[in-house]
Chain A
Amino acid sequence: GAVVSQHPSRVICKSGTSVKIECRSLDFQATTMFWYRQFPKKSLMLMATSNEGSKATYEQGVEKDKFLINHASLTLSTLTVTSAHPEDSSFYICSATDGAYEQYFGPGTRLTVT
């Protein structure tokens, strides 16, 4: 089946720094990618929808200036957590779809802000 990768799988950064997470579709063209955040023992929460070549659409309550999303190609979307703080520590998951058939989830990125 189709594969979606995320890089890095784990990252630790200091408070106040920015960190970029990549989401790649490895064997299909992803017209749309979704970004989710998951806190411990909680369900996944949709953060934003990213369409290739256009600005991301953010869910209510998600700060677009803090969580910068770029979907510059059909195989890559990036999520940048700017000026990260300990409360941003979470499991970030992306999913990708070609807009026609299935949706595939990435393995997730564990972010720890110290």
Chain B
Amino acid sequence: DAKTTQPTSMDCAEGRAANLPCNHSTISGNEYVYWYRQIHSQGPQYIIHGLKNNETNEMASLIITEDRKSSTLILPHATLRDTAVYYCIVNQASYDKVIFGPGTSLSVIP
């Protein structure tokens, strides 16, 4: 079973920041938080991951709470191409098998 809970769906206006929350209250000390997304009829795409510090890359920012029980993925300026299902995953390593939950379906609206 997935170790995370996410809202089923969210809407975001184009050009605004999309903030996608994730709860992972049972995360272990050696587990990372990973985010993937899946655009319709494509394979999942890696976005970002972190252990306890906030992380930023060219795609997104990841904010992890101090107790590590939740995190937020931020897409700073959402575009229509960001419409996808976003999966929050907890894993010990990037090369471990990924158990996907239902994810959050993000719709970016013009």
Binding site for B on A (CB under 8 A): 4, 6, 32, 34, 36, 42-46, 49, 91, 93, 95, 97-108, 110
Count class of interface residues, chain B: 20 to 34
Interface of B toward A, CB cutoff 8 Å: 36, 38, 41-46, 85, 87, 94-103
In this complex, what residue of B is CB-closest to A107? Answer: B43
Can you pick out 18 interface pairs between chain A and chain B where the beta carbons lie within 8 Å of each other? A6-B43, A34-B97, A36-B100, A43-B100, A44-B44, A44-B98, A46-B98, A93-B43, A95-B43, A95-B44, A97-B95, A100-B95, A103-B46, A103-B94, A103-B96, A105-B45, A106-B43, A108-B43
Residues of B within 8 A of A44 (CB): 38, 44, 98, 100
B41 x A95 contact (CB < 8 A): no
Whether the pair B95, A103 counts as a contact (CB closer than 8 A) is yes
Q: SS class of chain A's interface: helix, strand, loop or mixed?
A: strand
- Are B44 and A105 in contact, with the CB atoms below 8 A? yes
CB distance from B17 to the nearest CB of A (A): 25
Interface of B is mostly: loop
Asked if B43 and A105 sit within 8 Å, CB to CB, the answer is yes
Contact pick for B98, options A4, A34, A101, A110, CB 8 Å: A34
**CB-CB < 8 A to A105: which residues of B?**
36, 43-46
Interchain nearest-CB distance for B91 vs A (Å) = 9
B95 contacts A43, C-beta separation under 8 Å: no
Please indicate which of the listed interface residues A105, A106, A110 has the most CB atoms of chain B within 10 Å of its own CB.
A105
Q: Are B44 and A46 in contact (CB under 8 A)?
A: no
State whether B97 touches A46 (Cβ < 8 A). Answer: yes
Q: What is the distance, in angstroms, from A35's C-beta to the closest C-beta of chain B?
A: 10
Contact of B102 (CB < 8 Å), options: A43, A98, A103, A107: A43
- Asked if B97 contacts A99 (CB within 8 A), the reply is no
Smallest CB gap from A101: residue in B: B94
Contacts of B103 in A (CB 8 A): 43
CA separation between A97 and B38, bound complex, in Å? Answer: 18
Q: Which of A6, A32, A42, A43 has the most CB of B within 10 A?
A: A43
A60 to chain B, nearest CB (A): 12
- In the complex formed, the residue of A with least CB distance to B96 is A103
